[in-house]
Amino acid sequence: MAASRYRRFLRLCEEWPVEETKRRRDLGAALRQRVAQAFREGENTPIADPEACDQMYESLVRIHTNYYKNKYPRLKDTTFTGVTVEDCRMILATDILKQMEDMKKGTWRRLREKFSAKKPEEDLK
């Protein structure tokens, strides 16, 4: 039985897309990592709680197939602020978040980081 569970999780990992715009914050990459940890021995991995494993799989399938999005369709694809899905994706991209973090820094701190030989974290110690 562990072999079939392992194969189902592998199939789900193959189908789950990886979002390049969300480096180190991507759900697909996190899923792959967790499956690799949970099934270290591959098909021969003993499963302590098969029911919990099956529930986890079913939950992930519902997320992947947009079950609740399809079950409860929205009238509009915007938020109450009027921001669209594409705008949200753009804002949540890692590069944009990095730029926004850099904008929060003061001019003096940016210059000091740019020309300093040591890392800014060392200055705070």
Q: Are residue 56 and residue 2 in the same domain, yes or no? A: yes
Residue-number span of the structural domain to which 31 is assigned: 1-73
Q: Are residue 60 and residue 85 in the same domain, yes or no? A: no
22 is a domain residue: yes
CA 64 to CA 102: how far, in whole Å?
Answer: 34
Distance between first and last Cα of the chain: 53
pTM for the structure as a whole: 0.62
Q: What is the per-residue pLDDT for 22?
A: 74
Q: Which residues of the chain have pLDDT under 70?
A: 94, 96-97, 100, 102-104, 110, 117-125
Q: Are residue 3 and residue 34 in the same domain, yes or no? A: yes
Indicate the SS3 state at residue 95.
helix
Whether the CA torsion 49, 52, 56, 58 is positive or negative: it is positive
Q: What is the per-residue pLDDT for 7?
A: 92
Number of domains into which the chain is organized: 2
Asked whether the beta carbons of 77 and 85 are under 8 A apart, the reply is yes
